[in-house]
A = this chain, B = another copy of it.
């Protein structure tokens, strides 16, 4: 299902030899129309990878008809040769699709890469992979595509929602470097709804701001983050903007939760909600600061309801609150009341995977949630050995 759940999209994923493991590493999505509206959101990192530079330019006209993706190499910090390679991935994909009877131009092909930074792609393998992908792409290839974009992911992430007469489907990869302003994360969403590119762009920006921007696995921002949405109008249904945005946000929220649940080495999924803030921005700032405390993340790993580490992190922010009016509940037990000792910490049950930290600033009426993970020895091991 995934990106082929909506009518008029084909996809495929396969192994081209880019990954030493021999696992799938090339994915292709093609939009067969009739329309070609597209929107995308990219990393805010100031070292954007070559495919980000290409795709940002290619999608700027609000149209796209295909996406070529490789895992096994990020094509980031690779200089002019890296950009030439990203460009060639688009050109070669368009040329092969044309040979197969399509009229897609290179300017309508978006490119994404994920993997290790600082190494050139093995372009021979990439080209062969594109050839094979064009030869085998089909209307049921969504699941194969979702598998081919994985790196350290342990499971593919897909989501499908039914709108009022149309379908939205998506896939995502990412299991580390998940952070603000997006994360090492590639997300592809397709729909057969008829929405123009301006509406699609607005809906996508809203949805990402409430979902992917609010997961923060390890505070690290990637050079390659990309979220792409394509709408082909194949259903003939032109949805109400509010309804469409809501369904898109649901798909994004579902994928975001799957990303956090598969974060590298994590044993706990932590939802940090800051309540009663004076603004949503301040609630986000406070929740994000708490989510980045390594000491707190270690404590949660040890199933220790260490509210002192929550306050320590909160105390570094500029959010409006009075230090003697802050309450903290962990899994429903108010362990900190008025900035001091609250209910018995031994009442907190942290044996499950889900941990809820609720912080009440008692300063206003806004709230926001950031999702993060615990910090574990497995995270250290996985990220110590990643490139070796």
- A-to-B contact residues, CB < 8 Å: 44-48, 74, 76-79, 82, 116-120, 176-177, 181, 218-223, 292-295, 298-299, 301-302, 304, 306-309, 311-317, 321, 323-324, 336, 338-341, 375-377, 379-388
Contacts and interface: CB of A to CB of B under 8 A. Distances in A.
B380 A301 contact: yes
A292 B307 CA distance: 22
A295 to B, nearest CB: 5
A293 to B, nearest CB: 6
B338 A79 contact: yes
12 contacts: A45-B315, A45-B316, A46-B321, A77-B307, A117-B306, A117-B308, A223-B308, A223-B311, A223-B315, A299-B387, A301-B384, A379-B380
A219 B312 CA distance: 11
Nearest to A321: B46
A316 B295 CA distance: 22
Given A220-B294, A223-B311, A294-B383, A388 B340 contact: no
A312 B47 contact: yes
A48 to B, nearest CB: 8
A18 to B, nearest CB: 17
A45 B377 contact: no
Contacts of A118: 307-308, 336, 340-341
B223 A312 contact: yes
B380 A298 contact: yes
From A46, A222, A223, A324, residue with most partner B Cβ within 10 Å: A46
A79 B339 contact: yes
B380 A315 contact: no
Contact of A375 (B304, B316, B380): B380
A295 B176 contact: yes
A12 to B, nearest CB: 29
B298 A46 contact: no
A222 B383 contact: no
A324 B295 CA distance: 36
Given A47-B323, A177-B295, A223-B312, A78 B341 contact: yes
A77 B341 contact: yes
B380 A316 contact: no
A44 to B, nearest CB: 8
Contacts of A299: 383-384, 386-387
